[in-house]
């Protein structure tokens, strides 16, 4: 029996025999943030037990860039704020995935479940639920809620985005009020993660509405909202603010540690910063690199940083003849001065990268050195690939075709726009003509997904499963995030082998080889690993953001007396 560590200890020791989290993460929805601006890296730490007394009748105000769109995880887009509200405020998953993936796959702390046990053949997993958890209306949370949630998640009428995570769970059996058994069709490494994907929903309140009506009934769920997490949704004024209040029926004594958390919808970064500096807000989740130093200089503010699970890149569309030669792609990377981009746009709060994995992740290949900035060698490689300035116009050409292409990014992101301009200038110095193109975010998704572009500056988040199928497998060219149409048989095989490999040592060897192939082939130029930084009022303690979610620690947030 795996006895999960008790709440309040966000960094449990690894459990003997526990399946590693090398499948899809419960927070896999972060993949949808394709152009999120990353700026800094601490894992979760235990809430402080000493220091000044917490303020009574306390309210924390967050200046946040977007509004929520609903309260039902199965019908809303999995943005970070929705994931934060679902997993860390309103509802609970069975277990809580931890950000302790520096030395190996993540572990899990208890939430609704206090223990679990796999059968000897690993085709059954028995979960023992807490017996002291009730919904905010006082109705007990039971195994029936767990089974019914699985039925909703797998309902074809509902068509949940992540129903595939449940595809190999053939049944969820209610043994008694607090015992539930998951039955699998086969054994595979990500069984535990697949069980844990999604929060547990209230059967007694939401089963009144047929699944086929859920997607057209967003307001109904708000009107019938009951929660089992530390907070309830006290109020919601669309496009203005939403307010979380303490759930008086929450099972952990003294939790949450504040009475309310108010999210003020404040779209412009400088307007958010103004609220922070005027002490109208206690938190701005993301600071631009240019603002970090000035916030640190304020006596009543501090900066909290962490390394996000984002990778930032220029992707080359290999379906275009320009980019089909590996030597050309290597040359493009060596012609881009990534350190200059970091110094100019990130004020040093980043470092050049060579991998989709952040440097603090266990699978990161530390033996690879990023390609150097070497325009001379870049010119040599282009010449080896047959590109030369045959007509003396300053632009390389081959077979009568000038090396001219468009570099696109989303127009709303100023840093991306600046990167496009800098890359244009750098590649121009080796004889390539780059034509910048800006597109609105939603308009750009289609061309990227159908390879209707030349090259693009973008960013993607990878979940803690580290599954690269969605980014680099041949199958992901259509319908995935393999926008550059990269196809390599060895990479395909390694990705598939990793999905079935539970031995961390063997998996690490595979990840190292996979990154080595990507480094050689350069389907994209990995630009930098950026720090993400938040601005925090010094009275606000136990914030502790991490790469799972900036609001991971919400139930422990405190506000000290003046």
pLDDT digits (tens, 9 = 90+) for 397-431: 999 999 999 999 998 888 899 999 999 999 999 99
Model pLDDT, residue 56: 64
Is 21 strand, coil or helix? coil
Query: Would you say residue 321 has pLDDT above 70?
Result: yes
Query: Would you say residue 452 has pLDDT above 80?
Result: yes
Residues above pLDDT 70, as percent of the chain? 90
Name which of 2-11, 82-91, 120-129, 333-342 the model is least confident about.
2-11
> What residues are paired with 182 via a beta bridge?
125, 172
Model pLDDT, residue 18: 29
Mean pLDDT, residues 517-544 taken together: 96
| Sequence-separated (6 or more) residues with CB below 8 Å from residue 178 | 128, 129, 130, 131, 142, 143
Query: Would you say residue 11 has pLDDT above 80?
Result: no
Give the distance from CA 10 to its chain's centroid: 19
Is the Cβ–Cβ distance between 401 and 385 less than 8 Å?
Answer: no
**What does the pLDDT look like over 352-401, one tens digit per residue?**
999 999 999 999 999 999 999 999 999 999 999 999 999 999 999 999 99
Model pLDDT, residue 55: 61
pLDDT higher for 555 or 415?
555
Write down the residue that tokens 């930084």 correspond to: 533
Mean pLDDT, residues 119-124 taken together: 96
What φ, ψ does residue 191 adopt, rounded to 5°? -60, -45
Query: Would you say residue 180 has pLDDT above 60?
Result: yes
What distance in Å separates the CA atoms of residue 382 and residue 52, rounded to the nearest whole number? Answer: 63
Model pLDDT, residue 47: 54
Is 197 strand, coil or helix? coil
Mean pLDDT, residues 547-554 taken together: 91
Mean pLDDT, residues 1-15 taken together: 34
Model pLDDT, residue 137: 97
Tokens (6 digits) for 528: 């930098």
Model pLDDT, residue 9: 29
Write down the residue that tokens 């970064």 correspond to: 269
Q: Domains along the chain?
A: 2-223+532-559 (3.90.76.10), 310-530 (3.10.105.10)
Model pLDDT, residue 413: 85
Name which of 467-471, 500-504, 532-536 the model is least confident about.
500-504
Enter the pTM of the model.
0.80
Model pLDDT, residue 29: 36
Task: Assign 298 a pLDDT band (cuts: 50, 70, 90).
Answer: very high
Is 370 strand, coil or helix? coil
Task: Assign 348 a pLDDT band (cuts: 50, 70, 90).
Answer: confident
Model pLDDT, residue 509: 97
Mean pLDDT, residues 518-535 taken together: 95
What distance in Å separates the CA atoms of residue 313 and residue 457, rounded to the nearest whole number? Answer: 6
Query: Would you say residue 50 has pLDDT above 50?
Result: no
| Sequence-separated (6 or more) residues with CB below 8 Å from residue 216 | none
Model pLDDT, residue 53: 59
What distance in Å separates the CA atoms of residue 496 and residue 514, rounded to the nearest whole number? Answer: 11
Task: Assign 205 a pLDDT band (cuts: 50, 70, 90).
Answer: very high
3-state secondary structure 145-193: HHHHHHHHHCCCCCCCCCHHHHCCEEEEEEEECCEEEEEECCCCCCHHH
pLDDT higher for 33 or 416?
416
Helical (H) or strand (E) element with 143 = helix 143-153
Task: Assign 43 a pLDDT band (cuts: 50, 70, 90).
Answer: very low
Model pLDDT, residue 35: 37
Model pLDDT, residue 17: 27
Is 233 strand, coil or helix? strand
pLDDT higher for 57 or 534?
534
Query: Would you say residue 328 has pLDDT above 90?
Result: yes
What distance in Å separates the CA atoms of residue 196 and residue 2, rounded to the nearest whole number? Answer: 15
What distance in Å separates the CA atoms of residue 85 and residue 91, rounded to the nearest whole number? Answer: 8
Distances (CA, A) of 219 to 70, 111, 262: 7, 28, 20
């Amino acid at each position: 029996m795996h006895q999960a560590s008790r709440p309040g200890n966000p960094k449990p020791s690894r459990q003997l025999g526990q399946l590693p989290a090398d499948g899809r993460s419960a927070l896999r929805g972060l993949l949808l943030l394709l152009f999120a601006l990353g700026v800094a890296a601490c894992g979760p730490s235990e809430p402080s037990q000493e220091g000044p007394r917490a303020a009574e009748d306390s309210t924390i105000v967050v200046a946040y860039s977007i509004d929520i769109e609903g309260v039902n995880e199965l019908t809303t887009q999995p943005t970070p704020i929705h994931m934060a509200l679902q997993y860390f405020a309103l509802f609970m998953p069975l277990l809580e995935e931890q950000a302790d993936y520096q030395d190996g796959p993540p572990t899990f702390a208890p939430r609704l479940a206090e223990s679990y046990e796999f059968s000897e053949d690993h085709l059954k997993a028995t979960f023992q639920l807490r017996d002291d958890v009730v919904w905010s209306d006082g109705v007990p949370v039971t195994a029936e809620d767990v089974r019914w949630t699985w039925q909703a998640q797998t309902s074809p009428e509902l068509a949940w985005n992540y129903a595939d995570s449940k595809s190999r769970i053939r049944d969820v059996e209610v043994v008694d009020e607090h015992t539930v058994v998951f039955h699998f069709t086969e054994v595979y490494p990500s069984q535990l993660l697949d069980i844990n994907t999604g929060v547990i929903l209230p059967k007694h309140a939401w089963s009144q509405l047929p699944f086929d009506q859920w997607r057209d009934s967003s307001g109904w769920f708000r009107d019938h909202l009951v929660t089992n997490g530390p907070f309830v949704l006290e109020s919601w004024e669309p496009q203005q603010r939403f307010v979380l209040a303490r759930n008086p029926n929450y099972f952990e004594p003294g939790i949450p540690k504040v009475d309310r958390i108010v999210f003020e919808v404040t779209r412009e970064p400088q307007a958010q910063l103004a609220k922070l500096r005027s002490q109208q807000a206690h938190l701005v989740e993301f600071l631009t690199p240019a603002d970090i130093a000035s916030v640190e200089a304020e006596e009543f503010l501090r900066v909290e940083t962490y390394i996000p699970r984002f990778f930032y890149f220029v992707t080359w569309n290999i379906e275009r003849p320009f980019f089909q030669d590996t030597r050309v792609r290597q040359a493009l990377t060596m012609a881009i001065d990534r350190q200059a981009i970091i110094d100019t746009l990130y004020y040093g709060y980043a470092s050049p990268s060579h991998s989709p994995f952040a440097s603090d992740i266990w699978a990161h290949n530390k033996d690879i050195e990023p390609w150097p900035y070497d325009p001379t060698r870049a010119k040599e490689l282009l010449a080896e690939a047959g590109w030369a300035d045959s007509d003396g116009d300053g632009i390389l050409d081959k077979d009568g075709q000038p090396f001219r292409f468009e570099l696109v990014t989303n127009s709303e992101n100023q840093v991306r726009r600046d990167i496009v301009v800098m890359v244009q200038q750098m590649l121009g110095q080796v004889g390539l003509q780059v034509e910048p193109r800006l597109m609105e975010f939603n308009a750009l998704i289609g061309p990227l997904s159908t390879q209707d572009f030349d090259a693009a500056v973008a960013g993607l988040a990878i979940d803690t499963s580290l599954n690269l199928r969605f980014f680099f497998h041949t199958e992901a060219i259509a319908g995935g995030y393999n926008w550059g149409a990269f196809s390599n048989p060895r990479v395909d095989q390694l990705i598939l082998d990793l999905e079935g490999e539970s031995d961390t040592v063997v998996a690490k060897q595979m990840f190292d080889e996979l990154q080595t192939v990507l480094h050689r082939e350069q389907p994209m130029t990995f630009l930098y690993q950026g720090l993400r930084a938040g601005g925090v009022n010094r009275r606000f303690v136990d914030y502790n953001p991490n790469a799972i979610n900036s609001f991971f620690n919400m139930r422990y947030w405190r506000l000290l007396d003046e």
